[in-house]
Chains A and B, each alone.
Chain A
Amino acid sequence: MVKLIQQFVSCCRASGLRVSTSEVLDSLNQLQLIDPTDELQFRSLLRANLAKSMRDVQHFDRLYHLFFHEMRMDVGDMRQAALHSDQIKKAAEILKQMPHDNPIYDAVVEFLEGNPLALLHEMRRIRTEAEAEATMLRFNLGPLGNRLNMMIQINKAASAAGALVEENYTKTDSAAGRDLAVYFQERVAAARSMLMYEPRPGDTGTKITPTEEQRLKGLGEKSFSSFTRAEVEEMREAIDKLVRKLKNIVSRRYAVRNRGSIDVKKTLRASAKYNGVPVEIKYRHKAKRKSRIVTLCDVSGSVWAAARFMLNLLYSLQDCFDKVNSFVFIDHLSEVTSIFEEHEISKAIGMVLKESDVNYNASTDYGETLRNFKKDYMELLTKKTTLIIVGDGRTNYMNPEDAILGQMRERCRRVIWLNPEQENLWDTGDSEIKSYMQHCHEVRQCRNINQLFTFIEELVL
């Protein structure tokens, strides 16, 4: 029994379930307490110990079925199987000797022999590798190719086995030969069904539908520059919802802040008022740091689309920050903080374009902008400030003045550059993003709402 459990556990591990030694020990100990011949009890025991999350349960059930039903003969067949096991082994030996150059073939033959370990391992490798590759290459031929390869190997082993059986047994002992053929056919079918099986997340019962995300899914991945007017409106609604959610989280943290242990120092100090009687009890607060934000937004062309949404989000979340100062620039800097403070957000965003003294026909000049900032606003940057720059870093071949950005970095807590350009276009042509990059704590791509949302979330929380 111990050996059987061990085999099963190693199969579980090979196909990606995480099973620790102590869990195996537990289940072996518990086996003494129940009646292992009652399959329901036996299965519940293994399931309770080996599959420890809802997602794993489905996976476990499949493995259990494979291991204890498909791979084992029923008790009645056992005698017969013992009769054949020599022949099966011999046949597998011969199959292994056949010329081949693929490790998957070995795994398949082992599976035919009755040991699913290697095949499970290979399948898992394909699945996990497939995920890693898919994100890099952005097309799903890789995993498909891998599966095809495995199918070819299974077919190869199947036909080899079939040929072998026919060759050796049809003439001499037909009954045994037929049994063996049936056995191999069953195994091959099992292997194929394993290959076809798609692991599905097993938490359907409790899935909480992320309504927000679903609604945003379409728009979320779309790049800013390709929004239509109607979509901008819809986006605004979505932003409102997200803002409410974030504010809730933040306020909850403020609520928690006031619970804590007693602050003896403060209590004693307060007691001085009442002749040393501690009437008021002071608790230790977990102070929450609020940061100051300074944003510099390039408002030329396509960058404006990204900057607009970012300003919208930032000002909606103004309560979460100490102070937000914002500047827009094309060829020189102009401060727009007051516009946002005096007007409602969506109106303010419209006004930025009309009322600030930005020359829209000029070409972007990052150097001049940074010089302006250094001259007039350097004192805004303190150790509490986070500086956010939104821009593509295209300087039109003018002096980038990246040294000034270095000086700015020294004065503030963090410098974050959001670039709405595709990453593979960075540092091509007149893009100076690489020379700015060395002065930033973080440079991230910010092409769509989802990226913006993750950024803002990290900023606030």
Chain B
Amino acid sequence: MDYDSVADVQSRLTKAGFIPSKEIATVVFLAAATQKPVLVEGPAGVGKTELAKAIARSLDWELIRLQCYEGLDEAKALYEWEYAKQLLYTQMVKDRLNDIISSASTLTQAVDQIAAQEDAFFSDRFIQHRPLLQAISSEQPVVLLIDEVDKSDPEFEAFLLELLSDFQVSIPELGTRKAIHIPFVVLTSNNYRDMSDALKRRCVHLYIDYPARDTEISIVRLKIPGIEEKLCNALVDAIRKIRTLDLKKSPSISETLDWAQSLIALQINELTPEVISETLNIVCKYKIDMEKVRKNIDRILP
């Protein structure tokens, strides 16, 4: 595939606006080299989805995204026949049908003659491509992001297995479709439930944790170019201290970025206890958490 080495992955992802740790780069490289799917786990907001997008950008491939939810089924994920269109077409070409069977002398013959034409109705024209089929039948290589796969039902997971191991799907009326290019598959999970062993076995596992201090600082500087260095450092330090509190939802990178963005919008250049407590609702998503942070505010600011 397209990456040459781990270092290459690292530099190209950075260029695409995602700063990977060495571990992330290694796993991405291995997955690309062995054409295996990556199962990404980690707390919400550490950039699991962003990783897939960055991979797509760095390879200059199209990104096809499938958002999973409870009740997602094949018809929504793979393909669906457009019944209404089929029936409408049948009505419209009724006269032609009459022509075709006009020469038939018996009913059996007529049925045979129609059967010979059935390809016209079960063709690509009447298939609605859903993300999975799109990814498989695409002419160009793509990155397939299956987001929050843990939210889907176990049945859907079993169905994914076939797809991920052979990269082919069977449509009974049309036969088996094999992938033209094997897509780079990224599955993300929030640990809403455990994935089956069979699925895990087929994937390379990647756990993304909160980034190290320097990485986080460079992420903030990359995403928000206007930020002053001093503010940026203070901000990241504060966030890292907040993470050590026992909160219901610890702030992750996306919260750090939101916070930095809003401080810039408010034209604030220095972190003070007042600033923190006024802008806290961007960092903490629960009332209890906010109270806890306010109580410990002297621990957060050096």
Given contacts A22-B201, A44-B27, A261-B75, contact A34 B6 (CB under 8 A): yes
Given contacts A29-B34, A281-B84, contact A205 B70 (CB under 8 A): no
24 A-B pairs in the complex with CB atoms less than 8 angstroms apart: A18-B197, A23-B201, A30-B33, A34-B6, A44-B26, A44-B27, A48-B27, A48-B205, A49-B204, A49-B205, A52-B39, A52-B197, A54-B42, A57-B207, A203-B191, A205-B42, A205-B43, A206-B43, A252-B71, A259-B73, A261-B75, A277-B91, A278-B91, A281-B84
- Residues of chain A contacted by B206 (CB below 8 angstroms): 48
CB atoms of A205 and B83 under 8 A apart: no
Q: Which residue of A lies closest to B198 (CB)?
A: A20
For A54, give its contact among B22, B30, B41, B76 (CB under 8 Å): B41
Q: Which residue of B lies closest to A29 (CB)?
A: B34
Tell me the complex Cα distance, A278–B83, Å. Answer: 10
Tell me the complex Cα distance, A35–B87, Å. Answer: 59
CB atoms of B83 and A262 under 8 A apart: yes
10 nearest A-B pairs in the assembled complex, by CB-CB distance:
A205-B43, A52-B200, A44-B26, A44-B23, A256-B71, A52-B205, A262-B83, A40-B22, A48-B204, A278-B87
CB atoms of B195 and A53 under 8 A apart: yes
- Residues of chain B contacted by A49 (CB below 8 angstroms): 204-205
Tell me the complex Cα distance, A169–B6, Å. Answer: 50
- Residues of chain A contacted by B75 (CB below 8 angstroms): 259, 261
Tell me the complex Cα distance, A261–B73, Å. Answer: 11
Q: Which residue of B lies closest to A202 (CB)?
A: B207
- Residues of chain A contacted by B191 (CB below 8 angstroms): 53-54, 203, 206
- Residues of chain B contacted by A26 (CB below 8 angstroms): 34, 36, 204
- Residues of chain B contacted by A267 (CB below 8 angstroms): 87
Tell me the complex Cα distance, A51–B197, Å. Answer: 11
Given contacts A26-B34, A281-B83, A281-B84, contact A44 B205 (CB under 8 A): no
CB atoms of A44 and B73 under 8 A apart: no
Interface centre among A23, A45, A52, A277 (most CB of B within 10 A): A52
Tell me the complex Cα distance, A44–B195, Å. Answer: 21
Chain A nearest CB, measured from B51 CB (Å): 14
For B26, give its contact among A23, A41, A259 (CB under 8 Å): A41
Beta-carbon contacts of A1-34 to B below 8 Å, as 1s and 0s? 0000000000000000010101100100110011
- Residues of chain A contacted by B248 (CB below 8 angstroms): 209
Say yes or no: is B29 at the interface (Cβ < 8 Å to chain A).
yes
Say yes or no: is B44 at the interface (Cβ < 8 Å to chain A).
yes
Main DSSP-derived SS at the B contact region: mixed
Chain B nearest CB, measured from A50 CB (Å): 8
CB atoms of B205 and A252 under 8 A apart: no
Residues of B within 8 A of A (CB): 6, 22-23, 26-27, 29-30, 33-34, 36, 39, 41-44, 70-71, 73, 75-76, 81, 83-84, 87, 91, 190-192, 194-195, 197, 200-201, 203-207, 209-210, 248, 250
Chain B nearest CB, measured from A273 CB (Å): 15
Say yes or no: is A323 at the interface (Cβ < 8 Å to chain B).
no
The size bracket of the interface on A is 35 or more
CB atoms of A45 and B201 under 8 A apart: no
CB atoms of A34 and B73 under 8 A apart: no
Tell me the complex Cα distance, A256–B203, Å. Answer: 29
Tell me the complex Cα distance, A20–B39, Å. Answer: 17
Not counting A43-B23, A44-B27, A45-B26, a sample of 16 additional A-B residue pairs whose C-beta atoms are within 8 angstroms of each other reads A20-B201, A33-B30, A33-B34, A40-B26, A41-B6, A41-B22, A48-B30, A48-B205, A52-B205, A203-B191, A206-B42, A252-B70, A256-B73, A259-B71, A277-B91, A278-B87
Say yes or no: is A255 at the interface (Cβ < 8 Å to chain B).
yes
- Residues of chain B contacted by A52 (CB below 8 angstroms): 39, 197, 200-201, 203, 205
Say yes or no: is A247 at the interface (Cβ < 8 Å to chain B).
no
For B29, give its contact among A22, A34, A54 (CB under 8 Å): A34
Tell me the complex Cα distance, A373–B200, Å. Answer: 55
Say yes or no: is A413 at the interface (Cβ < 8 Å to chain B).
no
CB atoms of B30 and A30 under 8 A apart: yes
Q: Which residue of A lies closest to B88 (CB)?
A: A278
Say yes or no: is A47 at the interface (Cβ < 8 Å to chain B).
yes
CB contact list, A275-307 vs B, under 8 A: 277-278, 281
Tell me the complex Cα distance, A267–B36, Å. Answer: 44
Q: Which residue of B lies closest to A42 (CB)?
A: B26
Q: Which residue of A lies closest to B246 (CB)?
A: A204
Tell me the complex Cα distance, A282–B209, Å. Answer: 48
Interface centre among A30, A40, A281 (most CB of B within 10 A): A30
Tell me the complex Cα distance, A106–B29, Å. Answer: 43
- Residues of chain A contacted by B195 (CB below 8 angstroms): 53
Tell me the complex Cα distance, A43–B21, Å. Answer: 13
Beta-carbon contacts of A63-104 to B below 8 Å, as 1s and 0s? 000000000000000000000000000000000000000000
For B44, give its contact among A30, A41, A51, A206 (CB under 8 Å): A206
Tell me the complex Cα distance, A207–B226, Å. Answer: 34
Tell me the complex Cα distance, A23–B34, Å. Answer: 13
Tell me the complex Cα distance, A359–B271, Å. Answer: 72
Q: Which residue of B lies closest to A260 (CB)?
A: B75
Chain A nearest CB, measured from B84 CB (Å): 6
Chain A nearest CB, measured from B13 CB (Å): 15
Q: Which residue of A lies closest to B38 (CB)?
A: A48
CB atoms of A33 and B22 under 8 A apart: no
- Residues of chain A contacted by B42 (CB below 8 angstroms): 54, 205-206
CB atoms of B71 and A51 under 8 A apart: no
CB atoms of A53 and B200 under 8 A apart: yes
Chain B nearest CB, measured from A37 CB (Å): 13
